[in-house]
Amino acid sequence: MKPTHHAKINQSIKQKTEGSGKMCDPVDFDKAILLTGYGKFHYEAFTACAICIICVGFQNGLAAYIFPAAQCELRLTSFELSLLNVGFLVGGVMSSFLWGVLADAKGRRSVLVFTHLANASVTVLGATNGSMVGVILCRFFNGFLIGGPGSIVFSYLGEFQPAKCRSSVICYSGVFFTGAWLLLPLLAWIVLPIELSFSMGSFFIVTPWRLFMLILVVPEVLVGFWFLRLPESPKFFLARGDSTKALLVLRKIFATNTGQQPEDFPVKTLLKQRNENPLSRQCKGKVQEMYNQFKSLFKPPLLIFTLLSTSIMFANMFGVFGLGWWLPELFVRFERFHHLHPNRTVTVKELALLNDTKTCKPSFEPAVIESTVIMGVTSLVANAASGWLAARIPLKVIPCATMSVGGLSAMAIFWLSSAWQNLVVASVFQAAMVTANMTIGGVVVELFPTGVGAMAICLTMCAGRVGAMASNLVFGLWMDRRCEIPIFVVAGSVLIGAGLCFLIPKGSGGEREEKKVVEVAVVTHFDTKL
């Protein structure tokens, strides 16, 4: 939303509240959150969530910059090196449902605080550990823990937003995930060439790549404590049947935004939402609660939305974390070839065969860094454009268009013959796929009721991580022998995902009519069971 639009909202609220007194009749949540205004609180919440998303981006993207140095220092084989990537992804898959049920049962904020502070501690252990097994285990727990904020932050951020700008704000937040991937190569360029070696036995070692990881801990600790000062989502409280706590949070938001007293908030009572999964309040054990929520996602009327969102995310992350992780290596191979043969062109298939053994000192040539930065800037622009468009066009148009572009650009990579061609196509691919990834999260927020929303997002992200693991296996098996196989498999998968986006129910941000129908159907389903 534009700042002028925020001003119009606040002016409208001021006119409604002046002299109008309290609203005696119960007010629904969307109207109540609109009456809190849009100001200081929303900007602070957005900033905290932005740092959270940057931390998630750091953890997902750091492998390309630290593992070449780690491979030499720890004397890792190619298989052991692959375990660092796979371990991270397996950890994310294993924790997906855990964070979903905890977020829907205990609150979004509690999960965000715990996972960030715990993940920071694990990263410190991994960065200073001299054991290969220890580093792999730490990467597993990094994946396990970072899956929490990676999935929950969109629910937390979205549930503070007025309906009309919810999808737009979520799309804008995706800029910061891309920004993290832009900051990583710049930070690596500064830190990794430093001559540094310090150790205290085999359990506390500091070298440049370890220092790089320790620096990434700083924003994670900051945001973990920042979430402590922010309130829990009022929509979460309302979904749990606690309208009193929800109203208290809304009053606090109103006071922060407007400068008035909390008691001046015009809403006296909130309309209770019986449509928000009453089973979750009755389950004594968290395992049973998790099972009930998970089961509801695979029964009508939510089943079709579950299959749709998981399939699209699988296809997206199959491309982002398969071909996307291989692109920096492709830049390096182009640079190596042109240094040896400055007047020759080379195909990607020929480059794939030039798999020279890596040296112990990782190379960060200016041309490679520049290419990576250009890719990051392109993705930032695309994310910003998607945030502007999300409030103006049907939400499904963005992932459909971007994944179509991503699939076609992935296919084009096979026919590249120069570094500049690779840069153009890689920038288009990365921008399209990362933008699609963020907007798919917005689609999931819109499709599912709040009571199972966090669980639905976690399930969707789990499907995406499975896609990432599958893609890594495909590239690991075939990239150096038959590179056309992984390239065209990625292109085909992404294009299929783009086709599935056509099936997303029509909507353009805010609360869709289809969602209301779903919620009514969910009430009927659970009432029948009870």
pLDDT of 332 reads 67
Does some domain include residue 10? Answer: no
Query: For residues 213, 218, 220 and 222, what is the CA-based torsion angle, rounded to 10 degrees?
Result: 180
pLDDT of 99 reads 82
28-40 burial, b at 16+ Cβ within 10 Å, e below that, comes to: ebbebbbbbbbbe
Could you tell me the residue range of the domain that residue 432 belongs to?
19-274+287-529
Does some domain include residue 498? Answer: yes
Does some domain include residue 3? Answer: no
pLDDT of 77 reads 65
Query: CA 475 to CA 485: how far, in whole Å?
Result: 8
Tokens 């159907």 locate to 521
Does some domain include residue 6? Answer: no
pLDDT of 512 reads 45
Amino acid at the residue 17: T
> Which residues 6+ apart lie within 8 Å of 308 measured at CB?
447, 500, 503, 504
CB 209 within 8 A of CB 70: yes
CB 449 within 8 A of CB 522: yes
**From the DSSP assignment, how many helices (H) and strands (E) are in the chain?**
22, 2
CB 425 within 8 A of CB 416: yes
Does some domain include residue 341? Answer: yes
Tell me, letter by letter, the H, E, C secondary structure of 334-403: HHHHHHHCCCCCCCHHHHHCCCCCCCCCCCCCHHHHHHHHHHHHHHHHHHHHHHHHHCCCCCCHHHHHHH
Tokens 């629910």 locate to 155
Query: CA 517 to CA 453: how far, in whole Å?
Result: 16
pLDDT of 440 reads 87
pLDDT of 514 reads 40
Q: What is the CATH number of the domain that holds 168?
A: 1.20.1250.20
pLDDT of 267 reads 87
- 211 to 128, 133, 200: CA distances (angstroms): 9, 19, 15
Amino acid at the residue 266: P
pLDDT of 206 reads 84
Structure tokens, 191: 């830190």
Count of structural domains within the chain:
1
441-466 burial, b at 16+ Cβ within 10 Å, e below that, comes to: bbbbbbbbbbbbbbbbbbbbbbbbbb
Query: CA 315 to CA 464: how far, in whole Å?
Result: 7
Count other C-beta atoms under 10 Å from residue 372's C-beta: 27
270 DSSP β-pair partners: 27
Does some domain include residue 427? Answer: yes
387-405 burial, b at 16+ Cβ within 10 Å, e below that, comes to: bebbbeebbbbbbbbbbbb
Burial of 66 (0-12, 13-18, 19+ CB in 10 A): buried
pLDDT of 478 reads 77
- Measured in degrees and rounded to the nearest 5, phi and psi for residue 257 equal -75, -40
pLDDT of 311 reads 95
Question: What are 54-93's pLDDT values in tens digits?
Answer: 999 999 888 777 776 777 777 776 567 667 877 888 888 8
Does some domain include residue 12? Answer: no
CB 187 within 8 A of CB 376: no
pLDDT of 2 reads 47
Low-confidence ranges of the chain (pLDDT < 50): 1-2, 18-20, 275-284, 356-359, 507-530
Query: CA 372 to CA 369: how far, in whole Å?
Result: 5
Does some domain include residue 89? Answer: yes
